[in-house]
Amino acid sequence: MKTFRKFLLPLSLACTFSAFAVDNEQELPTQTLFRNVNIFNGVDNKLYQNHYVLVEKNIIKQVSATEIQGHKNVVVIDGAGRTLMPGLIDAHVHLNLQNLDNPAAIDGVSNMTWEEIGALAYDAAQEYLYSGFTTVRDLCGMHDGMRKHIEAGTLIGPRIYLAGACISQTSGHGDWRTNAQALGDDGNKNGQVQKLGISTLADGADEVLKACRNSLAGGADFCKMMAGGGVTSMRDPIHSIQGTMDELRAMTTATKQWDTIGAVHAYHDDSVNRALDAGVMSIEHGNLMTEKSTFKNVKKKGAYLVPAMAGFSNQLLKHPQYGNPDLPLKAKVEQIIKNYENWIALANATDINIGYGTDVVVSSKLASRGIRDFQMGQFVEGFGNYKTLVYMTSNNGKLMALTGKNNPYPSKLGVIEEGAYADIILVDGNPLKDLSVLGASFDMWATPREERTIKTIPFVMKDGKIVYNKL
Ligand SMILES: [Zn+2]
């Protein structure tokens, strides 16, 4: 578009006045006017009835209770009393760790080529966008290849924030080498997931510094490191501490110099507090935090906690992997489930910054969908409709903005207000009363949705452009 205009300019200068006037008319910025909508603005616990919203190019230009006029070419959308709200944001996704019906989880990904991984990642990206998630944040393995093409308009997808390769110590949550590869110890070279740049092994501050810088070089907006044991990984016990203080600080030093943040995978008090002390601002999981002081520390530091809520549910034990008594995963999940009541009471009482993230990883397409919808139900059960909505919109918008001068999308996200990005969905019904209108489900194993769209979200706009319109 920009190149095209460069060539047009000298031509229009050479034109007659009347021809120039026609040219000017064509230069009117694209406008979309929503009328007859009730607004959830991402912040307030209410719907603003019968409002108007004017979008110009990719930005919300005006929000008003009284009628707005656009220019003569404005596209008018009559919301017919639907809810207009910010496009949703998922702060913890894994686009490059999708799977077919392969029960081998990470091993399944290890056996794929980039062609398969890329195709499935693109399919997953679309799945988010068409169900109303206009922004996602990838926590392991995305570099800016797909995003570049989405931004250029050659592919259709959500906005993507990305961490590049996730950084793990040898034997940590991101060490997905086979035992044969690990015993051969050829470092990063012989694990397929490492070779593909999805996860990277780093031991010692120098290697962590380099790993984070490599991610930044690949277009990452922030870095992510494993700071403690994980559930899906077979090799590391959930109680393990991962990363020395020097290694954690190496990551936050590299990210601070880019004016952005470090994120960690961490479940329990020790690993969370160590990461906070090292200046980490985004704690992924935290589901085994037991002490009020840890929650208060998250709050004091102004950090965000992004819990994967499905891990707290007994329903996860029906999963062929997580419920298998022969695998270490089952005992890990049971420990997390036991901590739920104490955890949710402390999270609500300390009123910490929570980000909404679903962490759907290595599941088949339909199972991913079922778990994703169930996560929303779990957030509703733990925090109620209003808070869940705030987490999915304005809170996550603030979390994305912590990428500072490195932020690929510097205007506001997750709110309906003047100057914010025009990422907008229309919803049949009032999500403050019923979140099933955004897809929330309370049964992880309900017949999964076959369609990527949600009937009660008939309209999705991203960056001022209509992605989906069934009005
Ligand atoms: Zn994750």
Domain 2-87+419-469 is in which class? mainly beta
CA–CA distance, 358 with 372 (Å, rounded to integer): 6
Cβ atoms of 167 and 225 closer than 8 Å: yes
Distance 280 CA to ligand 1 centre (A): 16
Ranges in the chain annotated CATH 3.20.20.140? 88-406
Residue keyed to tokens 């209509």:
466
Cβ atoms of 240 and 208 closer than 8 Å: no
Other Cβ atoms closer than 10 A to 341: 10
Distance 360 CA to ligand 1 centre (A): 7
Least confident among 82-91, 251-260, 369-378: 369-378
Tell me the average pLDDT across 215-222: 97
What percent of the chain has a predicted confidence (pLDDT) above 90? 72
What percent of the chain has a predicted confidence (pLDDT) above 70? 91
Indicate if the pLDDT at residue 360 is higher than 90: no
Indicate if the pLDDT at residue 2 is higher than 50: no
Distance 283 CA to ligand 1 centre (A): 11
The CATH homologous superfamily to which domain 88-406 belongs is Metal-dependent hydrolases (3.20.20.140)
Predicted confidence at residue 234, as pLDDT, reads 73
Distance 232 CA to ligand 1 centre (A): 9
Q: Which residues, by Cβ under 5 Å, contact ligand 1, an ion?
A: 139, 359
Indicate if the pLDDT at residue 323 is higher than 50: yes
Indicate if the pLDDT at residue 192 is higher than 90: no
Distance 127 CA to ligand 1 centre (A): 18
Bridge partners (DSSP) of residue 142 are 164
Cβ atoms of 393 and 415 closer than 8 Å: yes
Distance 94 CA to ligand 1 centre (A): 7
Give the DSSP per-residue string, 232-258. S-SSS-TT-B-S-HHHHHHHHHHHHHT
Distance 92 CA to ligand 1 centre (A): 6
176-190 tens-digit pLDDT: 887 777 777 665 667
Distance 423 CA to ligand 1 centre (A): 25
Indicate if the pLDDT at residue 201 is higher than 80: yes
**Over the chain, what is the mean pLDDT?**
90
Contacts of 289 (CB under 8 A, 6+ apart): 267, 268, 269, 272, 295, 339, 343, 346
Predicted confidence at residue 307, as pLDDT, reads 96
Tokens of 342: 């104490």
Distance 93 CA to ligand 1 centre (A): 7
Which segments of 279-392 does DSSP mark as H helices, in order?
A: 292-300, 329-338, 340-350, 365-390
Distance 286 CA to ligand 1 centre (A): 12
Q: Compute the Cα dihedral for 261, 408, 97, 285 and give only its sign.
A: positive
Indicate if the pLDDT at residue 80 is higher than 50: yes
Pairing of strands 88-93, 159-162: unpaired
Indicate if the pLDDT at residue 274 is higher than 50: yes
Other Cβ atoms closer than 10 A to 18: 8
Residue of higher predicted confidence among 418 and 105: 418
Cβ atoms of 254 and 195 closer than 8 Å: no
Least confident among 165-179, 292-306, 416-430, 440-454: 440-454
Ranges in the chain annotated CATH 2.30.40.10? 2-87+419-469
Distance 171 CA to ligand 1 centre (A): 17
